[in-house]
């Protein structure tokens, strides 16, 4: 069968590789160069309980328990068990494809294990210290180049191609089926790639926010396209803010593994403030640490707090975290001798296109994997280093299920009180919204801590928003996606009147047991992309 995979992070690359090895005709579409994705910037590692790591004090059951605790009551237990049980085998697949993981005492010795926040044991595997994502990306690109598939670089997803589904009257909800993708190339030309199945692996939408650890390509293209096509999305209000991004332009990430090695957080007066916030202090769940930092910053007029790793010594830091050390040196910091300023930044979206355990969405023909998907494994707050694991496990599972004939009945979903922007002309001058203005709006009113007044203010500002003219058609397409997703995130955040995981409401500071359920959404029928007339043709 013909398969289009959109996105070249770990989930997309593994899905494309596995699909090709199973004999499918595969086209891999990516917006930038093949290696450019969130995966390559992942520093901390991949969490997996493996005998090869001499994990005698750990277990899959403990990994499951830690994931459920971090997920704050919203995880899908079956998905979590599958993630933790199948993760080790997927890591072994990568080792067979050439992934070089760090070892305790050189080649042939046990895999080295690191400790990160909210893990009860050291189970995080890493490569070259803090370059795990890059190493995985390199291994998977090498694998992709050994199998027969097409690669379309510098090719952006504009929308999914949908047709009327002859089976639409059997409870699937929209009567629509995905039959390909509409793409735009860097030179401005368009194309339609027809397929029997489309796999979205387009990552998150960190560019919604003024401060993010994500690269510029993370504009939520796949989730936005799926939403416009009629797919059910879920848990959009849950955005994880990484506690420690370097407080300089670009906010580069400083891995949680640094705190796992013993670094601590201090306020401007030198006080280790997280001791008063949570019993686990710097190793508390990410949402707790991020809000603790935000509160400390607010108490000192918004100035950054400091990450103090000086007790580890410069040589140990350079050996364990060579990439971070180089980044800090570029910005003039010697973290072996001085504290470095840090601030929270948008990092990972727990929400996305709702899928089953094989990556199937509510639309026949459409799969979603990686950060673009909401599988239920992360709940309200992702456990550190589970993202790469999810990409591997569910990217593989989606490829295995491509020729499925049975499609799951979609879950019941609320209608989003939003209208998708279709690139229409601005209806009035103040309807144009630049990316920078959107990012500032969502950072202020739908960011780390929210309330009803701010969310309503954001909803009003986005109600008639259209992308501002930039002279760059591809950037305007990205901005259309960000505006569509901004509306959806704000609507979901307004609907959840409690605080849970990555969603914090200052006007509803406690968790509400009655709201310990996943929320699912879809656009009204009038806002969906038109159904295409049936056409024929192979992959372009």
List residues with catalytic annotation.
286
Distance between CA 350 and CA 375 in Å, rounded?
9
Q: Which tokens hold the place of 78?
A: 């079956």
Closest CA to 392 of 359, 364, 365: 359
Q: Which tokens hold the place of 444?
A: 């202020």
The answer to whether the beta carbons of residues 378 and 71 sit under 8 Å apart is yes
Q: Which tokens hold the place of 94?
A: 């990568």
Alpha helices in 300-360 (DSSP H): 314-320, 322-330
Q: What number of other Cβ atoms are within 10 A of residue 470's Cβ?
A: 13
Kind and range of the H or E run holding 294: helix 286-299
Q: Which tokens hold the place of 126?
A: 């890493």
Alpha helices in 145-229 (DSSP H): 221-229
Q: Which tokens hold the place of 160?
A: 């999914």
Q: Packing angle between helix 387-400 and helix 10-21, nearest 10 degrees?
A: 30
Q: Which tokens hold the place of 157?
A: 């997803």
User: What are the φ and ψ backbone dihedral angles of 301, each rounded to 5 degrees?
Assistant: 70, 20
Q: For residue 14, give the DSSP letter.
A: H
Rg (CA), the chain: 22
Partners of 360 in beta bridges? 367
Task: Please give the C-alpha separations between residue 80 and each of 76, 353, 386, 387, 403, in angstroms, as whole numbers.
Answer: 6, 17, 10, 12, 24
Q: Which tokens hold the place of 436?
A: 């920078």
Q: Say what the alpha-carbon torsion angle 467, 471, 477, 479 is, to the nearest 10 degrees.
A: -40
Distance between CA 404 and CA 56 in Å, rounded?
39
DSSP annotation string for 178-238: EEEEEEEETTS-EEEEE-SEEEE-----GGGSSSBSS-TT-S-HHHHHHHHHT--EE-TT-
Distance between CA 389 and CA 506 in Å, rounded?
32
The answer to whether the beta carbons of residues 208 and 439 sit under 8 Å apart is yes
Q: Say what the alpha-carbon torsion angle 95, 99, 100, 104 is, to the nearest 10 degrees.
A: -40
């Amino acid at each position: 069968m013909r398969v289009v995979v959109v996105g070249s992070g770990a989930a997309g690359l593994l899905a494309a590789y596995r699909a090709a090895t199973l004999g499918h005709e595969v086209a891999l579409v990516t917006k930038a160069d093949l290696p450019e994705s969130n995966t390559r910037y992942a520093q901390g590692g991949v969490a997996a309980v493996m005998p090869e790591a001499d994990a005698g004090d750990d277990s899959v059951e403990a990994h499951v328990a830690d994931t459920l605790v971090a997920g704050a009551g919203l995880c899908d237990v079956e998905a979590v068990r599958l993630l933790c049980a199948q993760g080790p085998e997927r890591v072994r697949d990568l080792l067979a494809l050439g992934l070089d993981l760090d070892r305790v005492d050189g080649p042939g010795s046990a895999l080295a294990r690191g400790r990160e926040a909210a893990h009860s044991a050291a189970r995080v595997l890493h490569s070259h210290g803090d370059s795990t994502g890059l190493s995985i990306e390199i291994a998977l690109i090498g694998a992709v180049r050994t199998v027969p598939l097409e690669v379309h670089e510098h090719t952006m997803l504009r929308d999914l191609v949908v047709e009327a589904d002859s089976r639409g009257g059997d409870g699937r909800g929209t009567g629509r089926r995905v039959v390909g993708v509409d793409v735009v190339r860097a030179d401005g030309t368009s194309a339609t790639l027809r397929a029997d199945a489309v796999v979205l692996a387009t990552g998150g939408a960190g560019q919604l926010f003024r401060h993010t650890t994500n690269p510029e390509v993370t504009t939520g293209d796949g989730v936005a396209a799926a939403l416009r096509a009629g797919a059910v999305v879920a848990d959009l209000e849950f955005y994880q803010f990484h506690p420690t991004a370097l407080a300089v332009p670009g906010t580069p990430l400083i891995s949680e593994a640094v705190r796992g090695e013993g670094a601590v957080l201090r306020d401007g007066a030198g006080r280790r403030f997280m001791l008063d916030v949570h019993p686990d202090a710097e190793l508390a769940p990410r949402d707790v640490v991020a809000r603790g930092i935000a509160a400390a910053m607010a108490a000192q007029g918004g100035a950054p707090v400091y990450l103090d790793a000086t007790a580890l010594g410069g040589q140990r830091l350079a050996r364990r975290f060579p990439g971070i050390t180089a980044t800090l040196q570029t910005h003039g910091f010697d973290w072996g001798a001085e504290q470095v300023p840090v601030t929270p930044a948008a990092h990972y979206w727990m929400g996305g296109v709702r899928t089953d355990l094989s990556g199937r969405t509510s639309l026949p023909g459409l799969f979603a994997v990686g950060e673009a998907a909401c599988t239920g494994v992360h709940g309200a707050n992702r456990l550190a280093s589970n993202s790469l694991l999810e990409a591997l496990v569910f990217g593989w599972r989606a490829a295995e299920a491509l020729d499925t004939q049975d499609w799951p009945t979609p879950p019941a979903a609320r209608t989003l009180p939003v209208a998708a922007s279709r690139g229409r002309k601005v209806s009035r001058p103040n309807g144009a919204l630049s990316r920078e203005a959107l990012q500032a709006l969502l950072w202020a009113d739908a960011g780390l801590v929210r309330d009803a007044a701010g969310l309503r203010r954001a909803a009003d500002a986005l109600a008639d928003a259209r992308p501002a003219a930039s002279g760059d058609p591809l950037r305007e397409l990205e901005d259309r996606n960000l505006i569509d997703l901004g509306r959806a995130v704000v609507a979901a955040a307004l609907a959840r009147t409690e605080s849970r995981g990555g969603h914090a409401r200052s006007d509803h500071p406690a968790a509400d047991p009655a709201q310990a359920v996943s929320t699912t959404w879809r656009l009204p029928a009038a806002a969906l992309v038109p159904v295409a007339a049936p056409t024929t043709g192979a992959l372009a």
